[in-house]
Amino acid sequence: MSLRDKTYFISDLHLGASYLDTQSSEQRVIEWLNTIKSDAKRLILLGDILDYWFEYRHVVPRGYIRFFGKLAELSDSGVEIHWFTGNHDIWIFDYLPAELGITLHRTHETIDIDGHKFFLAHGDDVGKRKWSFRFIQSVFRNKVAQWCYSWIHPDLTMLLAHKWSSSSRKKNDKKGEEHFRGEKHEPLVQFAKEYIKEHDVEYLIFGHRHILLDLMLTHNNRMVILGDWIKHFSYATFDGNNLFIDLFVDE
């Protein structure tokens, strides 16, 4: 038995997205989870793990059975799992945390990992954002709006949600949004640079941008944007002393 001492980070799997082969992407993540289960102490899911999800009071959407089962298996075996919601999986309420034994985080948080301070955020609720994005976000997070939404038939809302998600992805693709725009033009880099002036953190880890970025901000502040599981299949590992970024290559 190897020692369980590692913390793993992934984000932006977008499982269930209509533009992905859901079964094969789910399978790939499960294969990766199998490789980490013997030495993982902690697993941090940094948002947009599911492309769309809405928990009703008594009913939950179809799909993701094997993925959820694997998370439950890890959690039952003692792996501490943290799920930070992104802008695609905000509507996780009390079902998944209870069923899977995970800790849910609705916003960015600084947590201590093996004596090191990590600022963790999906990345959609920090830094400079368009007013339209902020507006939509405040509606999505509004309790009354959520309640009203829950009374629309799910077959309809799910259809619309998947259509919206795939059209916004196409738009981003067209605009070349998913490429590094340079430090000055990356809101998360700008945010991190300001944040470390006033806060005592060593690592800042983000998702959301679907780019792979590993940047030393100062000699003791490092920021990472985790990439995604659509084209990068990337993840980070912290072993208590060092942070590594790897790609999960399918064999």
Total site size for Mn ion, rule CB under 5 A: 4
In the bound complex, what is the minimum distance in angstroms from residue 240's beta carbon to Mn ion?
29
Tokens of 3: 């020692």
- The residue with tokens 């309640």 is 147
In the bound complex, what is the minimum distance in angstroms from residue 129's beta carbon to Mn ion?
11
- The residue with tokens 């990356």 is 186
Is 48 a residue that touches Mn ion (CB under 5 A)?
A: yes
User: Interacting stretch for Mn ion, rule CB under 5 A, among 89-97, 177-185, 202-210, 228-236?
Assistant: 202-210
DSSP 126-148: SS---HHHHHHHHHHT-HHHHHH
In the bound complex, what is the minimum distance in angstroms from residue 61's beta carbon to Mn ion?
19
User: Interacting stretch for Mn ion, rule CB under 5 A, among 105-113, 201-209, 223-231, 233-241?
Assistant: 201-209
Helices (H), 47-175: 65-76, 95-100, 131-140, 143-150, 154-174
Is 208 a residue that touches Mn ion (CB under 5 A)?
A: yes
- For the four alpha carbons of 133, 111, 223 and 206, in that order, the dihedral sign comes to negative
Is 125 a residue that touches Mn ion (CB under 5 A)?
A: no
Q: Which amino acid is at 98?
A: A
Closest residue by beta carbon to Mn ion? 208
Which of 22, 27, 87, 237 lies at the binding interface for Mn ion (CB under 5 A)? 87
**Strand locations in the chain, DSSP E?**
6-10, 40-45, 80-84, 103-105, 109-113, 116-121, 203-206, 212-218, 221-226, 234-238, 243-247
Q: By C-beta, is 121 or 201 nearer to Mn ion?
A: 121
User: Interacting stretch for Mn ion, rule CB under 5 A, among 37-45, 87-95, 108-116, 188-196?
Assistant: 87-95
User: Interacting stretch for Mn ion, rule CB under 5 A, among 56-64, 100-108, 164-172, 205-213?
Assistant: 205-213
Q: Is 167 helix (H, G, I), strand (E, B) or coil?
A: helix
In the bound complex, what is the minimum distance in angstroms from residue 241's beta carbon to Mn ion?
30
Residues that bind Mn ion (CB under 5 A): 48, 86-87, 208
